[in-house]
A = this chain, B = another copy of it.
Amino acid sequence: MTQKSVSDLRVKILSALSDPTRLELLDFLSAGERCVCEILPAFQRSQSTISKHLNILYEADILERKIDGKRTVYRIKDPQVFDLIRMIDSIALKQISQLAEAGRILEISLNNGR
């Protein structure tokens, strides 16, 4: 039996999410389930690359899939991933505003020095 710890799973989930193409895939699928043939035209990546990315998200239990005739349909398994992404964005936005603030202060001190 392959024991799974929460630590292993969280690294697996975080790794699956730490790629721009995969984040775009999640965004794309947030509108609802889609077959691969609908996903492909929306991305400038080869079919094999997209298939691989989808499988990584599937293996991380973030997506589920069903086979429907000759197509495979993917959908978000647990919508809580979007809460997660929102929280990341909130942290990222804080970082950006800190940068902007630092820039403003720098600008002020440069102006004072003129």
Contacts and interface: CB of A to CB of B under 8 A. Distances in A.
B84 A13 contact: no
Contacts of A9: 92, 95-96
A86 to B, nearest CB: 10
Interface in A70-114: 78, 80-81, 83-85, 87-96, 98-99
Closest 7 CB pairs of A and B: A14-B18, A9-B92, A15-B18, A10-B88, A61-B95, A18-B18, A6-B92
24 contacts: A4-B96, A4-B99, A6-B89, A6-B93, A6-B96, A7-B20, A9-B95, A10-B23, A10-B85, A10-B88, A11-B18, A13-B91, A14-B14, A14-B17, A14-B88, A15-B18, A17-B18, A18-B18, A61-B98, A78-B94, A84-B84, A84-B87, A84-B88, A84-B91
